[in-house]
């Protein structure tokens, strides 16, 4: 008899939606020993192969192990088969072109990982970080594109917290249109939150994650609020005697203040969920419809995207978006071009892109404890490097990345299924690799 809700199959994977673990230690050190990427691949282990697959190779919604590595190397590319979703329509127009100009030499680009005295190649980074797919654009042309395991060009992949950057961009777009006031109190849009941590917060503080809220995403603590959030959103089984919140909205209404607002950066997924709720109220649209209208139809997306949803159909704005790798790259290329899509139309207001590129308050960001990201900031739910190239990123745990380098005219879209959730498992290898690739593409 099935006793788990439909979402339970991605129990651990759904927790991957939540965000980078915010403890300082999780940001500075990854486990020394990791599973062999080749030995844990979909091909090597044979997940979901056969008609039907053997019982020990099944990944189903009533098996909580379906969301545990190495099964995630299949399930991150098959979310729609296991949980409820809301569609993001691509529109009826033609997809924007992605002309190919392959560079076989890029795999041999060498660089030094953070904290290492040894070099490695770009190809070694791809293999060693459990990459599901990676696409590199240079001046709008595809110079590198490869897929691994369960991911294919037409198949959406779970974007994790890359979702937040879409939500932050939508908020900035509505603000540019005069339909959302970042300086306004959250309660202007959500009076339901007047007795919560957000009762005296502004929308801008939510957009830049400088909210003082009692909410922990420490995966090692079974009492952390992250587990309550997951149960409320239907990401974990609740049990027969469960009496807690049963939707994202209900859970957000329980959050209480801890500390002061606007003193420092504190990355917490619930802020993205609050912002997604604000967007629905300000636009009178679902998050899926708003994303379709304001971004997805305008950038020439090739495939529909989709969101994971809770039991009442509310999209997860903190990490539930699924897109193809190519369409993620199209979004990045639009951002690189100041909001202009491939057809020359201004898909995203130029002022929105410029505001993101300028970044946020670096002193406030430094209080977040991200030792691997010195000098960075956070603005409109984007991570801004302030490096000489002006690079900025959308980031999600388990290795999801959208890296935009304006100076190098480069965009990197990457999906992965790294066994380590925190970005400390990827950053030491991926960030310097992205920089090395940019420099190689700029070379005469």
Residues known to be catalytic: 161
Return the ∠ at Cα 68 (arms to 63 and 72), rounded to 5°.
100
Give Rg (Cα) of the chain.
Answer: 20
Among 250, 228, 233, smallest CA distance to 311 is for: 233
**Secondary structure letter of residue 294 according to DSSP:** I
- Give Cβ neighbours of residue 163 (< 8 Å, ≥ 6 apart): 17, 272, 307, 316, 317, 318, 319, 320, 321, 396
For residue 379, the cross-strand partners are 382
Burial track 120-133 (b if 16+ CB lie within 10 A, e otherwise): bbbebbbebbbbbb
As a whole number of angstroms, the distance between CA 92 and CA 98 comes to: 18
CA atoms within a 13 Å half-sphere pointing along the CA-CB vector of 41: 17
Among 152, 151, 163, smallest CA distance to 72 is for: 151
Residue with tokens 């002061």: 260
DSSP assignment of 56-125 equals GG---TT-GGGGSTTTHHHHTT-GGGTS-EEEE---SSPPPP--B---GGGGG-EE--TT-SS-EEHHHH
In the chain, how long is the greatest CA-to-CA distance?
66
As a whole number of angstroms, the distance between CA 10 and CA 69 comes to: 11
CB distance 82 to 10 below 8 Å: yes
As a whole number of angstroms, the distance between CA 444 and CA 442 comes to: 6
Our CA dihedral for 69, 73, 79, 82, rounded to 10 degrees, sits at -60
């Amino acid at each position: 008899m099935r006793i788990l809700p439909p979402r339970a199959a991605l129990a651990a994977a759904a927790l991957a939606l939540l965000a980078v673990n915010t403890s300082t230690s999780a940001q500075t050190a990854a486990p020394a020993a990791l599973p062999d990427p080749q030995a844990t691949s979909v091909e090597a282990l044979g997940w979901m192969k056969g008609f039907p697959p053997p019982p020990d190779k099944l990944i189903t919604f009533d098996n909580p192990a379906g969301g545990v590595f190495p099964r995630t190397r299949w399930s991150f590319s098959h979310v729609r088969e296991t949980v409820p979703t809301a569609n993001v329509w691509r529109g009826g127009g033609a997809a924007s072109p992605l002309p190919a100009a392959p560079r076989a030499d890029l795999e041999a680009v060498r660089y030094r990982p953070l904290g290492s005295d040894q070099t490695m190649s770009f190809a070694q980074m791809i293999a060693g970080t459990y990459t599901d797919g990676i696409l590199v654009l240079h001046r709008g042309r595809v110079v590198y594109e490869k897929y691994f395991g369960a991911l294919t060009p037409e198949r959406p992949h779970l974007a994790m917290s890359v979702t937040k950057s879409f939500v932050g961009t939508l908020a900035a777009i509505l603000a540019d249109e005069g339909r959302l006031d970042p300086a306004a109190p959250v309660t202007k849009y959500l009076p339901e939150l007047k007795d919560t941590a957000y009762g005296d917060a502004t929308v801008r503080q939510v957009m830049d994650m400088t909210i003082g809220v009692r909410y922990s995403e420490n995966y090692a603590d079974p009492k952390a609020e992250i587990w309550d959030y997951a149960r409320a959103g239907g990401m974990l089984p609740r049990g027969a005697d469960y009496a807690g919140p049963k939707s994202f909205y209900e859970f957000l209404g329980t959050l209480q203040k801890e500390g002061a607002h606007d003193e420092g950066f504190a990355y917490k997924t619930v802020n993205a969920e609050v912002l997604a709720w604000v967007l629905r109220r300000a636009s009178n649209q679902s998050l899926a419809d708003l994303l379709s209208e304001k971004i997805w139809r305008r950038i020439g997306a090739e495939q529909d995207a989709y969101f994971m949803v809770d039991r009442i159909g509310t999209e997860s704005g903190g990490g539930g978006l699924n897109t193809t790798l190519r369409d993620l790259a199209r979004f990045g290329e639009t951002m690189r071009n100041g909001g202009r899509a491939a057809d020359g139309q201004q898909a995203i207001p130029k002022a929105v892109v410029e505001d993101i590129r300028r970044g946020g308050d670096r002193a406030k960001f430094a209080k977040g404890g991200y030792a691997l990201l010195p000098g960075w900031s956070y603005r409109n739910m984007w991570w801004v490097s302030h490096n000489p190239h002006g690079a900025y990123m959308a980031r999600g745990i388990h290795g999801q990345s959208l890296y935009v380098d304006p100076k190098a005219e480069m965009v990197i879209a990457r999906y992965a299924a790294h066994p380590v959730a925190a970005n400390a498992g990827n950053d030491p290898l991926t960030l310097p690799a992205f920089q090395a690739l940019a420099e190689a593409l700029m070379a005469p």
